[in-house]
Amino acid sequence: MHPLLIFHGAIGAKDQMQALADALKENCIVHTLNFSGHGGEPFPDKDFSIPLFAGEVLNYLQQNKIERINIFGYSMGGYVAMFLAKHHPELVGRIITLATKFYWDEAVAAKEVKMLDAEIILQKVPEFAEQLRVRHLPNDWKMVLDKTKEMLLQLGQQNTLQLTDYKNILADCLLLLGDKDKMVTVDETIAVQKALPNADFKLLPGTPHPIEQVDTTMLASVITDFLS
């Protein structure tokens, strides 16, 4: 049985990943976690950042006495996985990412931040606003959005992982992207795949960005095959 730690994306929580975790349980020892401020976890004393979330993963591994683990990271979770592999390669086995945005500059960050306006979400997609409210209780979901916006703007000013950093990540990696993803480009994903010494790229058919719209059975099969 392969040990596997699953990371959720920005403004998400581990409950979103439960269907995938269930689909993988026959072949993997599955672990999930909430990053601080997400899924009801207390807000951190520091600002949201990739290094902060990576540090929380280190604490999780230590608390659970896990010496080495494979990682599946959705969206921002994939970025956290890569950061961990760069700085703590001894802890990371294989990495699978899905819908991870690797390229950041000020224009990209500004575009993404516009999508996180709480008032616009309330007006245009109130169902999504209610999902966020419930997902992050007892925290204020609007604060989760605000802290995430600050993190993205910081990424836009200084991308935590530069393209040259990936050459030092030696883990076997599989970069997945949906063919209908409107947030992440094929070009940026392939650029990282080519920079990584041991990586493959796979485009998933009929797959948009939101994890809820991904074919869980297909994704679980792809992950299981890669870890076998």
Range of the domain at 189: 2-104+160-227
| Amino acid residing at 193 | Q
DSSP assignment of the chain equals: -EEEEEE--TT--GGGGHHHHHHHTTTEEEEE-PPTTSTTPPPPSSPP-HHHHHHHHHHHHHHTT-S-EEEEEETHHHHHHHHHHHH-GGGEEEEEEES------HHHHHHHHHTT-HHHHHHH-HHHHHHHHHHHTTS-HHHHHHHHHHHHHHHHHS-SS-GGGGGG--S-EEEEEETT-SSS-HHHHHHHHHHSSSEEEEEETT--SSGGGS-HHHHHHHHHHHH-
Q: 188 lies in a domain? A: yes
Q: 149 lies in a domain? A: no
Q: 130 lies in a domain? A: no
CATH number of the domain bearing residue 55: 3.40.50.1820
Q: 134 lies in a domain? A: no
Q: Is the pLDDT of residue 1 over 80?
A: no
Residue 2: pLDDT band with limits 50, 70, 90? confident
d(CA 62, CA 27) in angstroms, rounded, equals: 23
Q: 45 lies in a domain? A: yes
Backbone angles phi, psi at 15, to 5 degrees: -60, -30
Q: How far is CA 106 from the centre of its chain?
A: 20
Q: What is the pLDDT of residues 113-168, one digit of tens each?
A: 999 999 999 999 999 999 999 999 999 999 999 999 999 999 999 999 999 999 99
Q: What is the pLDDT of residues 36-90, one digit of tens each?
A: 999 999 999 999 999 999 999 999 999 999 999 999 999 999 999 999 999 999 9
d(CA 75, CA 138) in angstroms, rounded, equals: 24
- Number of domains present in the structure of the chain: 1
Backbone angles phi, psi at 122, to 5 degrees: -60, -40
Round to the nearest angstrom and report the end-to-end CA distance of the chain.
9
Q: 54 lies in a domain? A: yes
Q: Is the pLDDT of residue 212 over 80?
A: yes
Q: 37 lies in a domain? A: yes
Q: 123 lies in a domain? A: no
Q: Which two tokens stand for residue 117?
A: 């306006």
Average pLDDT over residues 184-205: 98
